[in-house]
Structures are given as structure tokens and as C-alpha cells.
Amino acid sequence: MAAPPLAAPPVAATPARVPLLRGFLDLPRQVQRRFAVMLLPWLAVFALGFPWLWLKFDGLAREPLWHERESLLDESVEIVRRTLDSLEHDVLFLSDMSSQLPRENVEDGSPMARLYVTFARTAGVYDQVRWLGENGAELLRVNWRMGTPLLVPQAQLQQKVGRGYFADTRGTVPGTVYFSPMDLNEEHGGVERPLVPTLRVATPLYEDDIAQGVVVINYRASRLLSRLNDLARRRDLTVMLLNDDGYWLQGPEPDDDWAWQLGLPQRKVPNTDPALWRSVSGADSGRYRGAIGDYAFRRLKIGADSFTDLDSAGPVVNKLGLVVLVGGERGQAASWAENWKVMLAPLMALVFLVTLRYGWVTMRGLVDEEARARELRRTNKALRDAYENLTHVRADLSRAERLSSLGLMVAGVAHELNTPLGSASLAVSALTQSIETLRARLEAGLRKSDLQAFLDEASEASRLADGAVRRASGIVRRFKQVAVDRTSMERRSFALDEAVLDADPRLRKWPYEQIQLRLELERGLFMDSYPGPLEQVIGNLLNNALAHAFDHENGSGTLRIQAHGSAGGDVVVRIIDDGVGIEEADLPHIFDPFFTTQRHQGGTGLGLHIVAQMVSEVLSGRIDVQSRRGGPDHGTTFTLVLPRQAKYMS
């Protein structure tokens, strides 16, 4: 069908610029409303935002300081958490090693004594490392004195049955970690001098599920306090620690630290600053503005999920009860507010000028845009007319192409069926002649040799006819596969590597000695697609490589099958051989129906056509081929690029 000639669209001329005010008044109402909507936020910022900002500058100036305090608070809590994580790891390691050593002898030089001395020397942060028996008595203790771990003689070991770290840890399940309250270390009924802030960490010792006591390490908490103070000093802030009883471990005033152990039980926060105590006891985190300063605070929570090694971490007995606070002075915020107000006045004038300029530019843009829009509407109408004409032409060409493709397909089928049907017809004709000859000899007198000759001819004719009919049936069956019976395909989720191996039994037990098979399959790569068609595609490509790539007399070489994911979320499957390759002239036609280079050997030319159709129409992917004949890089590579989730077929 001849298509009508396409009319060339007119070229849009540049519209002449009109006066701004007149052009704006000529704009449609909706465009004028759009201009007002764009300009009103700027006017609102100038009329409302700046006065509000002027009044709120005190609070805005404090906000960066709050953020700085909360940033330091995050770092401080993380330092404490990492410290506790290290303590948890160390005490579990020591308990595990203790359970594997003989414990009958703990004298100097015994395996247990060497373990505890070496552990204390390597860590360097523990004042005491101890093993307590089931009755609470110390069985082994290493003290850190003057930078050296010292094994305490048996006569100086003490009874600790009444201590909380023993009572709360004994009888717990293996892997339990106990964290004591942080306090000052006491020896012989009094506070040790100089002051030694201590955190005790304990875990039960088991061997074959039989309790063998408790392992305890005394962490020198002054190391943690020094790290927090150094971090706060660099930011000109203060880090403080408060326990659940309301006492400062590290407070705003040094005289308030450890008050309950130093004979000053009245100096607790509920008494000295009740408002602060109500804030920290009523919430896990927050901000507090008090008479002596502003604080950001957070309660430290410890559980098994607080540690990095979740596999080894067990239940946690938390008696630490710690609140971390970060404070700073207010004078800096007031100074910032005044500085910002000095800058705000010229900023307001600048914003006003920018608003006027923005309004003028926007109005000019809308006027010019409307002029261009009118011209574009005229041009678009001409383009729509041309497009409709082009659509009609394309539909006519598509119908003609489908009819041509159908004609070629029918001609190919007729050509393929003609040969086996002609052979069958010739065999039947020969059998008919043999029957007539036998009938004539029956009337003249049948001899045994005549009957034998008839049987031989009939058998040969039947064999030829049967072979021809089977070949025709195979051609019809392969031709039906071109249409792909989609109703028999099951869509499901499956592992790509298993689907590749299921494509052909030979991939699991390779039968060829001269051809080496290499499977490079990524594990755990799942698809939501159609495994049956995918397996058929891989099987067809495998058979194609074995049939065409290698010399059948001395066919040696390598066949590789790769399957892996791609950066774009698809999967890539490659079938690679180092065989003879494909002729360059044949490459553009290998996916055409009935194209084959081995027609005299029974090839139908439908295998690769079926592969291409299944990949594109069923698996929603694409297939590419690269091949080279001769040279060191000879061989062929078929590449399948498939989406992990295929499109649903109607």
C-alpha cells in the first residue's frame, strides 16, 4: 500500500519580545496565579521570616552548642560501649582458656598461674585478675603493682562470698557477663589510697557444664575517665558520669566525686540539684537547662546486642547504672546571638533586593514563555498531523513484514518436509512394485528365493519409509516449539547454578575425555523466572557446541559455562568454547529459522531459533554471540543477559 507523502513541519520563528507589563496583563489567569504563588513565599520570608528569626536568634545560637554537646555525648557513649565490649571479650576469653587448663595446681609456674600473669601483663589495664571458687574464696589472684603483674601468695588470698560480683554471677548460665557498679577500690575494709576507680567484670567458669567458680577482672576505670576528659578538653566542654543512686562519679565539682564512699552521703544530685535529677531519672536521653549550665544526657544501656561479637556474647547482668552528661557554658551562645543579629540586618536588605530581582526575572520569563508556547502549539499541531500519517505508514509496513515472514516460514516448512515425504513416497512406490511382482510370481509358481527377495525389499522399503516419517515428525515437532507452548511453563523461584546443572545430565558427570568442562557458577543466585525454558536454552546451546565446535575425529578442547550476577541486577550466563568458530558470513543468520550448515547430516536449523525466541519472549532477556575462526583466540561465546525477575506472560 502506498503511503501518502509526509508534510514537513513548519519551523518555529522566534517570537518578538513584547513590553513586560502589557505582556503580563495578557497572560492567562492561571499563569498570573502561578507567578503569585512563586513570589508569595519570598514575600512571606521577608515579612514574617526575618522578624521571627530576629526573635529566635537566642535559641538558634544555642542549637549549634547543643549539637556539639550531643556529638561529644555520642562519642563518649561510644567510647564507654567499646570499653565494655573489650572487657566482655577479655573476661570470656580468660574464662574459656581457664576451662581448658588443669586447675588442681595454681602455684607459681603452673599453667593457670602463667595464664593469669600473662593475661594481666598483655592487657596492662587490670588491677586484679582473679579466679574465685564455688565457695567464694579466691583460688588465684594476680595484682598489678608498679607496672608489673604479681601473683599473690596463697596465704594472702581472701574470701569474697559476700561481694555482689560473686553472688550475682555464681550460678548463671555459661557466657553470662556481669558488670559491677563503678566505685573506688576497697582493701582491708577501707578505700584504697590514692583513689582507684574500679569496674569489676565477671563471668562463670564451667567445664563440661559443671560450675568451677567465677572469673573476675578489675578494670582500672581511671583510664576510661582520662580518655573522656581528654576528649572533652579538646572541645572546651565537660563530660560527667552519674550513677543510678544519684552520686557523681565525675561531676562538675571535684569535691562531689565518689561522695558516698568518701563520707559525704548528703552530696547527691537529688539533694544538690533536684531539677537535674528529675530530668535524668525521667528519661533515657534529653537536654537540661539548669542554673549552673546546660547538659545533654543519655542513660547507658547494656545488653547482649551491645557488643560486636554477637556469637560469643551471652546474657548480661548490668549493675553499672550509668548516665553520661556533657555540659558547657552559656556565655558563648549569647555572644553568637549578638554576632548573628549584626549580620542579619544587611542580609534582610539583600533578600529584599533579591526578591525584587527574582520577581522581575520571573515575570519576564513567564511572558517570553507564553509567547514561545503559542508558537509551539502551532508547530505541535503540524507535528501531530505528520505523526498520524507516519503511524498509518508504519502499520502498513508491519502488516507487510508479518505476511512476508509468514510466507518465508511456510516455505521453509514445506522445503524441510518435502525431502522426508519424498523419500517415504519413493519407498512406498518400491514396496508397491514388489507386491505386484510377488503377485505375478504366485500365479506362475512361487519359489523360496522369490519370497526371500520380496521380504528383503519390503523390509528395506519399510525401514526407509519409517525413517522418513520419523524425520518429518521431528521437523513438525521442532516447528511447534517455535510457537512455545506457554501454558505448560511453570514460573517459580530457583537457584541459577542448580538450573544450569539440571539442563543436561552430562553436566553433573561429564562423559567426554578429550573435551574439558569448566563450570564457573556463582552460588546463591536466585531468580524468579521459568526454569524449564532456561534449562532447554542451556541444553540446546550445549548440544550446539558439542555438535559444531569440535572436530569429531580428534575433537579436543575446552567448554566453559559461566553464570554470575551483574552490576545492573541482571544475571549473565555464558557458554564458551575454543572450537573451530562460526564463519563470519553465517553469524547474522544463525538465529534465523531453518538456517543450518549441516542439512546433509540431519540438521533442521530450528535449534538456535528456538533458543533466541525463548530468551526474548519467555525469559525477557537477550542473547548475543561472538565467534572467531583461526588464530590463537578461535572459538565461540554465547552470552545470555536475563533479568532476575522475568515478566509475567499473559
User: Where are the domains positioned within the chain?
Assistant: 65-82+224-332, 85-221, 415-482, 486-643
Which of 236, 230, 278, 277 minimizes the C-alpha distance to 69?
236
pLDDT on residue 11? 46
- CATH number of this structure's domain 486-643: 3.30.565.10
Tell me how far apart the alpha carbons of residues 374 and 95 are, in angstroms, rounded to a whole number.
84
Q: Band of the pLDDT at 97, cuts 50, 70, 90?
A: very high
Q: How many whole angstroms separate alpha carbon 540 and alpha carbon 520?
A: 19
Half-sphere exposure of 35 (CA within 13 A, CB side): 20
pLDDT at site 203: 96
- The predicted structure's pLDDT at residue 182: 95
For residue 84, what are the contacts with CB-CB under 8 A and spacing of at least 6? Answer: 179, 302, 306, 307, 320
- Residue 83 confidence (pLDDT) above 80: yes
What is the pLDDT at residue 485? 42
Residues 188-242 have pLDDT tens digits of: 778 888 899 999 999 999 998 899 999 999 999 999 999 999 999 998 899 999 9
User: Cell numbers 507487510 label which residue?
Assistant: 400
How distant is the alpha carbon of residue 399 from its chain centre? 47
pLDDT band at 12 (very low <50, low <70, confident <90, very high): very low
- pLDDT band at residue 2 using 50, 70 and 90 as cut-offs: very low
Residue 256 to residue 607: CA distance in whole angstroms? 88
336, 342, 348, 351 alpha-carbon torsion, rounded to 10°: -70
State the fold for domain 85-221: Beta-Lactamase (3.30.450)
Does an H or E element contain 408, and which? helix 331-444
Q: Are 518 and 476 in contact (CB under 8 A)?
A: no
Average pLDDT for 582-593:
84
pLDDT at residue 211, rounded to an integer: 94
Tens digits of residue pLDDT in 508-551: 899 988 899 999 999 999 999 999 899 989 999 998 888 888 86
- Give the residue from 594, 598, 604 showing the smallest Cα distance to 472: 604
591/611 Cα distance (integer angstroms): 8
Residue found by looking up cell 573506688 in the block: 184
Query: What is the distance between the alpha carbons of residues 419 and 432, in angstroms, rounded to a whole number?
Result: 20
What is the spatial distance between Cα 152 and Cα 141, in angstroms, rounded to a whole number?
Answer: 6
- Is the pLDDT reported for residue 9 higher than 60? no
Alpha carbons 434 and 431: distance in angstroms, whole number: 5
Return the bridge partners of 517, or none.
Answer: 559
Three-state helix/strand/coil letters over 438-478: HHHHHHHCCCHHHHHHHHHHHHHHHHHHHHHHHHHHHHHHH
Q: Which fold has domain 65-82+224-332?
A: Beta-Lactamase (3.30.450)
Domains 415-482 and 486-643 in one fold: no
Instruction: Categorize the per-residue pLDDT at 479 as very low, low, confident or very high, splitting at 50, 70 and 90.
Output: low
Q: Do strands 183-184 and 138-145 pair parallel, antiparallel, or not at all (unpaired)? A: unpaired
1: confidence class by pLDDT, cuts 50, 70, 90: very low
Element of type H or E holding 202? strand 197-207
Which residues does residue 559 pair with via DSSP β-bridges, in sequence order? 517, 577
Mean pLDDT of the chain: 82
∠ CA 623-626-629 to the nearest 5 degrees? 150
pLDDT score at 290: 80
What's the CATH class of domain 415-482? Answer: mainly alpha
Model confidence pLDDT, tens digit, residues 388-428: 888 877 777 656 655 555 555 565 566 566 667 777 777 78
Going by the DSSP 8-state scheme, the letter that residue 363 receives in this structure is H
Residue type present at position 416: E
Q: Which residues pair with 318 in a beta bridge?
A: 179
**Model-level pTM?**
0.47
Whole-number pLDDT of residue 488? 47
Whole-number percent of the chain with pLDDT over 70? 81
DSSP string spanning 560-603? EEEEEE-TTSEEEEEEEE-SS---TTTGGGTTSTT--S-GGGT-
